[in-house]
Amino acid sequence: MNSVEFDQVSFGYEGAPIFDRVSFSVPTGEFLVVIGPNGGGKSTLLRLMLGLLSPSEGRINVLGKPPGKTSEVGYVPQDVEKSLSMPVTVRRVVSMGRLGARSGGNDSVDRAMDAMDLKPLSDRPVGSLSQGQRQRTLIARALASEPKLLLLDEPLASVDPDARKSVFDSLNDVAEGRTVVVVSHDYSIIPACASAVACVDRSVYYHDGGELTEKLFSKASGSCPVEIIGHGLPHRVLEEHRHG
């Protein structure tokens, strides 16, 4: 069973092609980290999954439906600062994730707050939080709708290195029982969380753990992140090589 399927998908803004007949699928339960150079098309890929953009050719399926036709997708956008400059409490922001949801109510908000360790911060104005706490608030807002698929665009962009571990731990917790797709320029999320990596550079190169090599990363980003290879991927990632 797949949570996301791209079948021969083409897309371009105003005619300039970004993707040309791209096919891949994200199995249910995968923690997929999407990497690649600036302008490679990572955010475009998420927008296609969300149904905010439509392919010019091909077919996309998200949780068995066309994109945008299911309420079971959670989305955490970029730009934490901009999204959370409002003078409202943490609980209020998390509750906003329930807007339009039919069931669950306060229980879902409580579960999302718990999952992100936000209970002690419940009544704090979001403007007074640290970057890591703000990021956890945005993730909790997405979780409040109890999504089966969670999409995150650069969740570490404004999180300092000390707060990163707590965001990784939180993401690993929320990944239990759902599919997660994270766009990141920060490769430290790969050994911490990933079960697969998609390199997006005007195409999509989908790799699970066994294929994560230096050669692949140099192709993906134009540089060689020797340190992530050196620090070692977790064994579960290296051993899970399903493509044979």
The residues that touch ligand ATP, with contacts defined as CB under 6 A, are: 13-14, 18, 36, 38-44
Q: Confirm if 6 and 20 have CB atoms less than 8 A apart.
A: no
**Rounded Cα–Cα distance for residues 224 and 166 (Å):** 26
Count Cβ neighbours within 10 Å for each residue of 169-205 and write b for 16 or more, e otherwise. ebbeebbeebbbbbbbebbbbbbbbbbbbbbbbeebb
Considering the complex, what minimum distance in angstroms separates the CB of residue 82 from ligand ATP?
15
Rank residues 47 and 98 by Cβ distance to ligand ATP and give the closer one.
Answer: 47
Q: Confirm if 187 and 197 have CB atoms less than 8 A apart.
A: no
Rank residues 148 and 185 by Cβ distance to ligand ATP and give the closer one.
Answer: 185
Considering the complex, what minimum distance in angstroms separates the CB of residue 69 from ligand ATP?
22
Considering the complex, what minimum distance in angstroms separates the CB of residue 176 from ligand ATP?
27
Rank residues 36 and 132 by Cβ distance to ligand ATP and give the closer one.
Answer: 36
Considering the complex, what minimum distance in angstroms separates the CB of residue 184 from ligand ATP?
10
Rank residues 42 and 134 by Cβ distance to ligand ATP and give the closer one.
Answer: 42
Q: What is the 3-state secondary structure (H, E, C) of 51-73?
A: CCCCCCEEEEEECCECCCCCCCE
In this structure, is the dihedral angle defined by the CA atoms of residues 114, 173, 34 and 151, taken in order, positive or negative? negative
Considering the complex, what minimum distance in angstroms separates the CB of residue 79 from ligand ATP?
11
**Rounded Cα–Cα distance for residues 138 and 152 (Å):** 10
Rank residues 39 and 232 by Cβ distance to ligand ATP and give the closer one.
Answer: 39
**Rounded Cα–Cα distance for residues 200 and 2 (Å):** 19
